[in-house]
């Protein structure tokens, strides 16, 4: 098995929304805001090469939205999905599986592209993986979350016939556990940020490697109270973070950050202030 970081660019989001109840005087030291209170965030995906499978975890915002949409999020940087794949000798047509942690636009927008007046899968040979519980939420969203679930990113996946579901845990007491997906990769389910978000957990060189998606979008969100205002159920996020971080520090997990503008990965340690990062590194240093 090989792991590759796939950088698809950077975007900006409001710092207060990203750090919730934490005061700006504190979070601004972690990720300084610009004059519009916007902070810089990565759109960092993961590529897993395992035997005959080439699995892409999330795929960024994509490029099919109009100028007005992008003016809200300040998409910038020289990285693109295609350039990052090409760096390792791959193209979109090599992808066999697209694992979608959830269907917010900054995680799945690259799934679909415009060809003339049609919306078609950007990965013609891939199976797209979601779960039925999250799919139902994304296709019939509540008013608060509706702006994050864009129809043009979601419905064409199902129309293509390339969509499959991973089985989510049925009992509430099982929701912090993981569901087997394929050999060496399982899906952890969390419910605070959005319904049934999936975190791929990879057995990699005798280590456990977890793609954190929006449970921990950056290393700055490791302290327990640092919960995004975007989360649908912040108290659930608190419980999920506590449980996961204790498990991760006890078992020396490697955490991969999708949105941290600087750091790709870290391990954890216990300190007087609680669980904090121990060591930062890149995927290519593993």
List, for residues 9-33, the tens digit of each pLDDT value. Answer: 999 999 999 999 999 999 999 999 9
Ranges of each domain in the chain: 2-285
Query: Tens of pLDDT along the chain (286 residues)?
Result: 999 999 999 999 999 999 999 999 999 999 999 999 999 999 999 999 999 999 999 999 999 999 999 999 999 999 999 999 999 999 999 999 999 999 999 999 999 999 999 999 999 999 999 999 999 999 999 999 999 999 999 999 999 999 999 988 765 555 566 778 999 999 999 999 999 999 999 999 999 999 999 999 999 999 999 999 999 999 999 999 999 999 999 999 999 999 999 999 999 999 999 999 999 999 999 9
3-state per-residue secondary structure call for the chain: CEEEEEEEEEEEEEHHHHHCCCCHHHHCCCCCCCCCCEEEEEEEEEEEEECCEEEEECCCCCCCCCHHHHHHHCCECCCCHHHHHHHCCCCHHHCCEEECCCCCHHHHHHHEEEECCEEEECCCCCEEEECHHHHHHHHCCCCCCHHHCCHHHHHHHHHCCCEEECCCCCCHHHCCCEEEEECCEEEEEECCCCCCEEEEEEEECCEEEEECCCCCCCHHHCCCCCCCCCCCCHHHHHHHHHHHHHHHHHCCCEEECCCCCCCCEEEEEEECCEEEEEEEECHHHC
pTM: 0.96
CATH number of 2-285: 3.60.15.10
* The predicted structure's pLDDT at residue 179: 77
List, for residues 130-180, the tens digit of each pLDDT value. Answer: 999 999 999 999 999 999 999 999 999 999 999 999 988 765 555 566 778
């Amino acid at each position: 098995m090989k792991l590759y970081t796939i950088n698809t660019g950077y975007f900006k989001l409001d710092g207060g929304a990203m750090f919730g109840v934490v005061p700006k005087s504190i979070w601004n030291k972690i990720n300084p805001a610009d004059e519009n209170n916007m902070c810089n965030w990565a759109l960092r995906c993961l590529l897993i090469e395992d035997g005959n499978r080439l699995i892409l975890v999330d795929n960024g915002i994509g490029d099919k939205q109009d100028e007005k949409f992008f003016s809200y999020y300040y998409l910038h940087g020289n990285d693109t999905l295609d350039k990052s794949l090409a760096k390792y000798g791959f193209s979109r047509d090599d992808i066999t599986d697209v694992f979608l942690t959830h269907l917010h636009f900054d995680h799945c927008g690259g799934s679909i592209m415009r060809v003339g007046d049609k919306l078609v899968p950007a990965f013609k040979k891939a199976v797209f993986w979601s779960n039925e519980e999250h799919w139902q939420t994304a296709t019939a969203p509540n008013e608060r979350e509706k702006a994050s679930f864009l129809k043009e990113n979601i419905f064409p996946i199902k129309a293509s016939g390339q969509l499959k579901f991973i089985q989510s845990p049925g009992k509430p007491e099982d929701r912090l556990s993981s569901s087997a997906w394929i050999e060496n990769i399982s899906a952890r389910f969390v419910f605070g940020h959005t319904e049934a978000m999936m975190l791929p957990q990879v057995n990699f060189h005798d280590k456990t490697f977890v793609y954190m998606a929006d449970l921990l979008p950056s290393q700055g969100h490791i302290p327990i109270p640092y919960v995004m205002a975007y989360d649908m159920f912040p108290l659930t996020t608190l419980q999920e973070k506590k449980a996961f971080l204790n498990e991760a520090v006890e078992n020396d997990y490697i955490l991969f950050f999708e949105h941290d503008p600087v750091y790709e990965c870290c391990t954890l340690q216990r300190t007087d202030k609680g669980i904090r990062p121990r060591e930062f590194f890149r995927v290519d240093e593993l």
